[in-house]
């Protein structure tokens, strides 16, 4: 009996398109019931048992950084990474890439570390926390989103710098109103009220007038 030749491997499908931050991902629908796993941060960028290398690249293709990652950690948290890894496994490649801007690079690194640690540093800068949260939402890393959210909600409104307040208020409406971001955005509105509760007094300061003029219309209408 003659043996049949093996069927050719199917061509790998295209990797999933990077989701837009203007859409509400599954990560945005996370809640306080999220279960946190043990701290795996010692294994981040550790070649031992790593099955992929993940590059952070610019939109033009320039590589910013490369890390050893573990598929089970990323795919276990994110539908986006699960799909990405399935496509690359079909192709036999062990190289992955995420496109980020140079401005997003610190947040991207923080996001990957948080995916392993299942937490964020207690002393993390609020503006960096928000940038990490937005990027983690884009790539559906729900545990990272919840960790950033919890820490931001633990801050007093006065701890939010004006740049962070504006960044929150300028998020796309779908993201601002999602379950993950809504309560954090409300903290930004509380900060605005704290600054401009007495508008006549605030208007006497040149810096306060500049801050007022930087507010989105929706924030002004809520005062």
What's residue 183's pLDDT?
A: 95
Which residue matches tokens 């990474």? 81
Cα–Cα–Cα angle for 39, 41, 44, rounded to 5 degrees = 145
User: Is 160 within 8 Å of 130 (Cβ atoms)?
Assistant: no
- In terms of phi and psi (left: phi > 0; alpha: psi -120 to 50; beta: otherwise), the region of 49 is left
Q: If you ran DSSP here, which 8-state letter would residue 197 be given?
A: S
pTM: 0.79
Return the pLDDT at 55: 95
- Helical ranges in 76-104 per DSSP H: 79-91
Interatomic CA distance for residues 197 and 137, integer angstroms: 32
How confident is the model at residue 161, as a pLDDT? Answer: 94
What per-residue confidence (pLDDT) applies to 168? 96
What is d(CA 23, CA 63) in angstroms, rounded to the nearest whole number? 26
Separation in Å, CA 191 to CA 58, 160, 183 = 34, 7, 13
What is the reported pLDDT for 137?
96
Helix (H) or strand (E) holding 52: strand 52-57
Q: What is the CA radius of gyration of the chain?
A: 21
d(CA 97, CA 72): 17
What is the pLDDT tens value at each position of the chain, 223 positions in all?
A: 444 444 444 444 445 555 554 444 545 544 434 444 689 999 999 999 898 999 999 999 999 999 999 999 999 999 999 998 887 766 666 788 899 999 999 999 999 999 999 999 999 999 999 999 999 999 999 999 999 999 999 999 999 999 999 999 999 999 999 999 999 999 999 999 998 888 887 788 888 888 999 999 988 888 7
CB 188 within 8 A of CB 165: yes
Sheet of 63-69: strand order equals: 63-69, 52-57, 95-99
């Amino acid at each position: 009996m003659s043996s049949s030749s093996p069927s050719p491997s199917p061509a790998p499908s295209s990797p999933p398109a990077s989701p837009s931050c203007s859409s509400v991902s599954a990560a945005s629908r996370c809640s306080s019931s999220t279960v946190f796993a043990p701290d795996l941060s010692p294994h981040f960028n550790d070649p031992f048992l790593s099955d992929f290398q993940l590059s952070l690249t610019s939109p033009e293709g320039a590589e910013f950084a490369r890390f050893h990652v573990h598929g089970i950690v990323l795919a276990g948290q994110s539908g986006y990474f699960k799909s990405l890894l399935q496509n690359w496994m079909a192709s036999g490649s062990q190289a992955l890439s995420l496109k980020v801007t140079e401005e997003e690079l610190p947040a991207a690194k923080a996001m990957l570390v948080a995916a392993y640690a299942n937490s964020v540093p207690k002393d993390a800068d609020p503006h960096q926390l928000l940038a990490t949260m937005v990027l983690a939402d884009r790539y559906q890393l729900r545990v990272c989103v919840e960790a950033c959210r919890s820490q931001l909600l633990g801050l007093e409104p006065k701890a939010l710098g004006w740049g962070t307040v504006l960044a929150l208020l300028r998020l796309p409406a779908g993201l601002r109103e999602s379950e993950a971001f809504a309560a954090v955005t409300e903290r930004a509105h509380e900060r605005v009220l704290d600054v401009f509760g007495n508008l006549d007094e605030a208007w006497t300061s040149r810096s306060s007038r500049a801050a007022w003029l930087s507010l989105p219309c929706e924030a002004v209408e809520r005062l």
